[in-house]
Structure 1
Amino acid sequence: MKTLIIGGNGTIGRKVAERLSAKHEVLVAGRSSGDITVDFSDSKSIKSMFDSVGKLDAIVAIAGDAKWDKLDNLSEDDFYIGIKSKMMGQVNVVRIGKNFLNRNGSITLSTGILADDPVDMTTSAAMVNGAINSFAKAVALELEDGKRINVVCSDLVEDSFEKYKDYFPGNTPVPMHKIVDGYVKSVEGKITGRILRIIA
Structure 2
Amino acid sequence: MKILVIGGHGTIGKKVTAHFSEANEVLVAGRSKGDILVDIEDPASITKMFEQIGRLDAVICIAGEAKWAPFNEMSEADFHIGLNSKLMGQVNLVRIGKNYLSPKGSITLSTGILADDPVVMTSSAAMVNGAIHSFIKAVALEMEKGIRVNAVSSGMVEDAYEKYKDYFPGHNPIPMKKVVNAYVRSVNGRDHGRVIRIYD
Same fold flag (TM > 0.5) = yes
**Equivalent in the alignment of 1:90:** 90
Name the amino acid aligned to 1:56: L
Runs of at least 4 residues of structure 1 off by over 6 A? none
Task: Measure how far apart 1:114 and its partner are.
Answer: 0.1
Task: State the alpha-carbon separation in 2 of the partners of residues 95 and 146 from structure 1.
Answer: 15
Aligned to 1:54: 54
Offset of residue 41 of structure 1: 1.0
For residues 132-143 of structure 1, the aligned pairs below 5 Å read: 132-143=132-143
Letter in 2 for 1:27: L
1:100-119 matched pairs, under 5 angstroms:
100-119=100-119
Taking the TM superposition and a 5 Å limit, the aligned residue runs for 1:39-78 are 39-78=39-78
Shift of 1:98: 0.4
Task: Tell me whether 1:26 sits opposite 2:26 in the alignment.
Answer: yes
Residue of structure 1 equivalent to 2:36 = 36
Letter of the 2:63 partner, please give it.
A
Find the counterpart in structure 2 of residue 15 from structure 1: 15
Q: How does 1:175-194 map to 2 (within 5 A)?
A: 175-194=175-194
Shift of 1:190: 1.2
Once residues 80 and 107 of structure 1 are traced to their aligned partners in structure 2, the CA distance between those partners, rounded to angstroms, is 24
**Corresponding residue of 1:120:** 120
Query: Which amino acid in the other structure matches residue 166 of structure 1?
Result: D
Q: Give the deviation of 1:107 after TM superposition.
A: 0.3
What SS does structure 2 have at the residue aligned with 1:152?
strand
Read off the aligned partner of 1:67 and give its amino acid letter.
K
Query: Does the alignment pair 1:196 with 2:187?
Result: no
List alignment gaps of at least 5 residues for structure 2: none
- Secondary structure (helix, strand or coil) at the match of 2:172 reads coil
Amino acid at match of 1:128: V
Q: Which amino acid aligns with 2:150?
A: N
Structure 1 runs not aligned, ≥5 long: none
TM-score, length basis structure 2: 0.99
Q: What is the match of residue 159 of structure 2?
A: 159
Q: What whole-Å deviation, never above 9, does each CA across 1:52-75 have from its counterpart, x for those lacking one? A: 101100000000000000111000
Letter of the 1:15 partner, please give it.
K
Residue 191 of structure 1 deviates from its aligned partner by 1.2
Aligned AA for 2:116?
D
- Aligned-pair CA distance for 1:149: 0.5
CA distance in 2, matches of 1:190, 1:146: 10
